[in-house]
Amino acid sequence: MTYDLAIIGGGPAGAAGAVYAARKRLKTIVITKDWLGQSNVSEKIENWVGTIAISGFELSKSLENHAKAYGKDVIDFKEGEYVTKVTNKGTFAITTDKGSYEARAILVTAGSRRRKLDVPGADIFEHKGLTYCATCDGPLYDGQDVVVVGGGNAGFESASQLLAYCKSVTLLSRSEYKADPGTIEAVMKNPKFKGVEFAIPKEVKGDKFVNSFIYTDSKSGNDIELNSTGIFVEIGSVPNTDFVKDEINLDKYNHIITDAKNQRASIEGIWAAGDCTDGLYHQNNIAAGDAVKAIEDIYIWLQK
């Protein structure tokens, strides 16, 4: 069968798109590996509008439950699948690791994945002291000296979690801090925290496990070695857009280029929302709102 709409990806954008597609009675297929957006690892989210505080995992489950409650009669959910290719054949052919589907329109909400630390030793010591998830692995470093790489909100949030049980937390930022001022202020009050700006990662060192981290002070040019048994990397993300790169225009970072008025991509019939787009800001609330905007436009386009 040919669906009216295929939504590719879960998370806030995918769930919001599914809810609105169901309300408009669009015959829709949602294809997603899971419903866990980037915020799934956050211990506490305080800026999801309408909810004072919620964990990332609870938010993911809430979004999933909402989408399924509204979409049970009109949406086919294909979970545990990921899309490998989209081809424009008048309608769109969507190939996954488990099958193939056809749709008149596509909303890409595939989000992004964590950017890896590209310095000597990082690949060798991944899961041996170097990790990309403070929530998952932080408790293993109770009473130890650790390093957080990244000066954005994710870096400071990870540092905040780690300060609960680590002996010390040193945060390294390539530039001036980019996190929200309130978040920076709260973390820096902790006497176990030290922040270093203009610190360029250089090397991860160790034996069987990590035992130190070297960075370069970009102002002085000096290399500085920190004794550390844990390195937590929070240096941004890479959009999950490989499956559409041959069909639509991407920016130099492989984000989908969209029209901010309606979330349309560069060819007729494809829209995108959330962290996979070239939007100036990437937040849960923005991702959900952009998906709603896209569905409104998709509905009108399909009626034509």
Which residues are registered as beta bridge partners of 96?
83
pLDDT value for 39: 74
Is residue 260 predicted with pLDDT exceeding 90? yes
If you search the block for the tokens 């190939």, which residue do you land on? 95
Measured CA to CA, the distance from residue 285 to residue 292 in angstroms comes to: 11
Based on C-alpha coordinates, what's the Rg of the chain? 21
Report pLDDT for 304. 86
Instruction: Give pLDDT tens digits for 1-45.
Output: 999 999 999 999 999 999 999 999 999 999 999 887 777 767 778
pTM of the model: 0.79
Whether 243 contacts 161, CB under 8 Å: no
Confidence of residue 47 (pLDDT cuts 50, 70, 90): confident
Helix/strand/coil for 282:
coil
Identify the pLDDT of residue 219. Answer: 93
At 192-205, the pLDDT tens digits run 999 999 999 999 99
For the stretch 132-189, pLDDT in tens is 888 778 888 999 999 999 999 989 999 999 999 999 999 999 999 999 999 999 999 9
Burial (CB count <10 Å: 0-12, 13-18, 19+), residue 1: exposed
Res 41: pLDDT = 67
